[in-house]
Amino acid sequence: DYHGIVPFVNVESVQLGLSYKLDPIYGNNAIFSNNHFKKTGEFLLGPLYECQNETDKKKDVTPNNDEITTKETKYYKQFWEDVLYFCEFCFKYTNDEIKFTEHCKICPYQHNQPGKLVYLGNDYLIKKVSHHRHGVFLESLCLFTKFFLDNKSSFCNLKEFDFFVVYARELDGISNLRNKPLGFFSKQIASTNFENLSSILIVPPYRNRGLGTLLIEFSYHLSIHQLESLSKMHDSPNIECFTTGPESPLSPFGLKMYVNYWQKTLVIEMMNYKKNNKLDTPLIKYLMEKTHFESEHIILTLKYMKCI
């Protein structure tokens, strides 16, 4: 699958902005032009190839067996690129260091965050970003993400998702984080299974700040709010039995964040359960009503905590 993940790391290093040099965890072939490789046996970043002459694109080139063997050898070599440079504001990318440095000086996203404000906290804010207004930004963000998540194989159907991007507030005094996307989660607009999150990533340099917990907690509150609005429209305000959760399967990174969040939340509710003597209600049912977590997620977390 051209939009899938290759089974080896094919880019040696990813540089984010001028300060962060990151080691990719997974291979990513969606960022390269598949058609160009088939024709020439050389790797070229996709957008660069798209700008080439249309006549050149339509040339019919039929490789012989020796050419096919050579291309296969090149395809499975360890690195297709030594370094890919990503803007830390808009995530546009290039393999040209000079062009990258020039872009960093003039990137318009340094001064403007895309999207609509949906959450404002003491230290961070969250913006909802839609594809129809910021398609290039989201496509570039997803291509960057593919180097660090192993189960998100496509970036072509972004119209079906809303994206929620977290930023540091300007008043936090950390000027070097201003207007930089620190992480995001995506949510399918029309989910038949009431899933509240499709993918989640905290950009590697900004981890260990509690951002995963913030985004996960916000995703639950968002789903509950949406259901409350829907229930009022249908005159059925009782939502105690409603449960929601992330799309399966979770990446190893996502699962770690979720178990941490579920564990902290369930401990508080279990203390309330014992304190209020809710012995007439089974524990799992009580936890589902209070947290709106899926039963399988509650059981998984309780097993992790060695409570069952």
Of the residues 247, 269, 289, 294, only one is catalytic, namely: 247
With CA atoms as reference, report the closest residue to 75 among 6, 23, 143, 13: 6
CA 247, CA 85: separation in Å to the nearest integer? 30
Burial per residue of 171-198, b for 16 or more beta-carbon CB atoms within 10 angstroms, e otherwise? eeeeeebebbbbbbbbbbeebeeebbbb
Cβ neighbours of residue 299 closer than 8 Å, sequence gap 6 or more: 284, 308
247 is an active site residue = yes
Largest pairwise CA distance in the chain: 77
Cβ neighbours of residue 270 closer than 8 Å, sequence gap 6 or more: 283, 287, 307
Q: Would you say 8 and 95 are in contact if contact means Cβ atoms under 8 Å apart?
A: no
Active site residues: 247
